[in-house]
Structure 1
Amino acid sequence: MRDDLGERLPGGNVTGAWRVGGTVRRSTGPWTPAVHALLRHLVGRLEHVPEVEGLDGRGREVLTYLPGRIVDEDTELLTDAQLWSLTRWTREMHCAVSDFRSGGPWRFYPVDHWTMIGHNDLGPYNVCFDGDDLVGVFDWDLAGPSTPLMELAFLAWNSVPLRRAIGVREQAARLTLVAQAYGDVSAAQILDAVPDRVRLVLRGIPAAAAAGDPGMQNLLAFGEPQRSRRALEGLLARIDAIRGHL
């Protein structure tokens, strides 16, 4: 669709986005200054990240548009090469943020004992590819306090994916690929971290919605966190079988 706001981009269950020429426009929140500081910190340190161009006349943030193909998370799987590319980028991102400091405020849910600022929502819906090569990572609104293991757990949840029943042998193999691509972590460690990372979502979405976050209220309307709760129940039913193939 096109209107005076620009061309509405597909997806965007939380806030939505509009393309205007070579830029993307998105609504802002109290977390936007911290997110913009993070993105500016990453300029020259990390590839495939949008650059901040400021705000438009409607008060929307203006970011550079990242072209590429988005893999449909419900009907497709990332190829092994795409999964490797995304995970290697994640390792590079964690190195790039190691010296970043900000007091927020952040939109992401409260995290105890955090060690870094992470993206916190890595999955097929927030990345794009040129063939097997990662070329863009967007929607940084949930960036905030995290840990490398939490980030990898949610990446595995969305991108192996562990949230879908694609077969325990394949999930184990793809989880092993993630661990090898990142390094310094085992597939079993990532797998064991997934349930608690998903439970953070189960608690965080309704709490943020009740506090007045319109994006989280939109997620409630789209069936969250019930969908994630059912998917987690499915994972817990097969998690021992996955672990047995690691």
Structure 2
Amino acid sequence: MHDDLDGVPLVGGNMDPVVRIGDTVRRTKGPWTESVHSLLGTYAEAGLTETPRALGIDARGREILTFLPGEPLSESAPEVLWAPSTLTAAAGLLRRLHDASAPLVGEPGIWRMEDHPPTEVICHNDFAPYNLIASDGRLVGVIDFDMASPGSRLWDLAYLAYRIVPLAEDARGFDDVRFGARDDRLRTLVDSYGLDASPDAVVDAAGRRLDALAAFTERRAEVTGRSDFVEHAAMYRRDAERLRSGNVTRPGM
């Protein structure tokens, strides 16, 4: 039997089921939800319009978030996904999120993921095209803050670099002739964020980030029995080793 709270399942939701009901999104509440809602409230107070707003808990005990219209950037045409303007917009949005979140560092809270010192900001921990929202050919938002936790600016930026420079082997439709050489895109990303770090430091952090992600994904595979998690973890380990070998410009080779 269904009721109005069943909603329409949304794509993704690798961690927990996510459904849309009208202009809201509902997802499983956890011990971390209060901290995430505080983070979203901090973004709202800072005037950030690119993040969902927390609206409380529904009758089924799920958190209620506002729905951000648009499509996942990962599903956009390559001309949007890999556009230099998208690269710089993503870096700028991540910087604004980090700056707004800094006052929460050191405050009491429960987070789903462990801290990643030095704890300078609240990291999204999955700031990537599949969680970025595009509309009319431009980046307009970011979703899915359930994995947020205190960490370093570099930790978050390194994963964005992995996904949007891109440094990953599964970069659908990327062409360095059309969209720019990866070395140049990496420098642009770091400069657009305004991080005082070398591109080499970002690549090194990306390798460590992928090691941690592979271990996490392998644990999820054991719990869920999902073979796609096994495949994802294997790719993360391949990419981490490739980055450590110095092969940044030709992923998958």
> What band does the TM-score fall into relative to the shorter chain?
0.7 to 0.9
In structure 2, C-alpha distance between the alignment counterparts of 1:227 and 1:59, rounded to whole Å: 36
Per-residue CA deviation, residues 42-95 of structure 1 (Å, 9 max, x unaligned), is 113122010000111111110000011223369844321111111101111111
Equivalent residue for 2:216? Answer: 204
Letter in 2 for 1:66: L
Q: Which runs of 4+ in 1 moved over 6 A?
A: none
Equivalent residue for 1:63? Answer: 65
Matched residues, percent identical? 35
Equivalent residue for 1:40? Answer: 41
Per-residue CA deviation, residues 190-227 of structure 1 (Å, 9 max, x unaligned), is 122211111121233445777xxx7xx47775324223
Equivalent residue for 1:233? Answer: 241
> Which of residues 167, 190, 194 in structure 2 aligns to 1:183?
194
1:235 is displaced (CA, Å) by: 3.5
> Which of residues 222, 236, 241 in structure 1 aligns to 2:229?
222
Deviates more, 1:189-198 or 1:2-11: 2-11
Cα RMSD over matched residues? Answer: 2.8
> Using CA pairs below 8 Å that are at least 6 residues apart, which structure has the higher relative contact order?
1
Normalization by structure 2: what TM-score?
0.82
Aligned length, in residue pairs:
236
Deviates more, 1:184-193 or 1:72-81: 72-81
1:127 aligns with 2:132: yes
The unaligned stretches of length 5 or more in structure 1 are none
In structure 2, C-alpha distance between the alignment counterparts of 1:219 and 1:89, rounded to whole Å: 33
In structure 2, C-alpha distance between the alignment counterparts of 1:55 and 1:148, rounded to whole Å: 30
Per-residue CA deviation, residues 155-204 of structure 1 (Å, 9 max, x unaligned), is 11112121127578722121112012111333232122211111121233
Specify whether residues 147 and 79 from structure 1 end up closer, same or farther in structure 2 by C-alpha distance, changes over 3 A only: same
Per-residue CA deviation, residues 4-63 of structure 1 (Å, 9 max, x unaligned), is 511111122221311100001111211111111111111131220100001111111100
In structure 2, C-alpha distance between the alignment counterparts of 1:142 and 1:17, rounded to whole Å: 14
Equivalent residue for 1:93? Answer: 97
1:230 is displaced (CA, Å) by: 2.7
Q: Is the 8 A contact 1:14 1:218 kept in 2?
A: no
In structure 2, C-alpha distance between the alignment counterparts of 1:92 and 1:111, rounded to whole Å: 19
Q: Is the 8 A contact 1:116 1:145 kept in 2?
A: yes
In structure 2, C-alpha distance between the alignment counterparts of 1:167 and 1:197, rounded to whole Å: 25
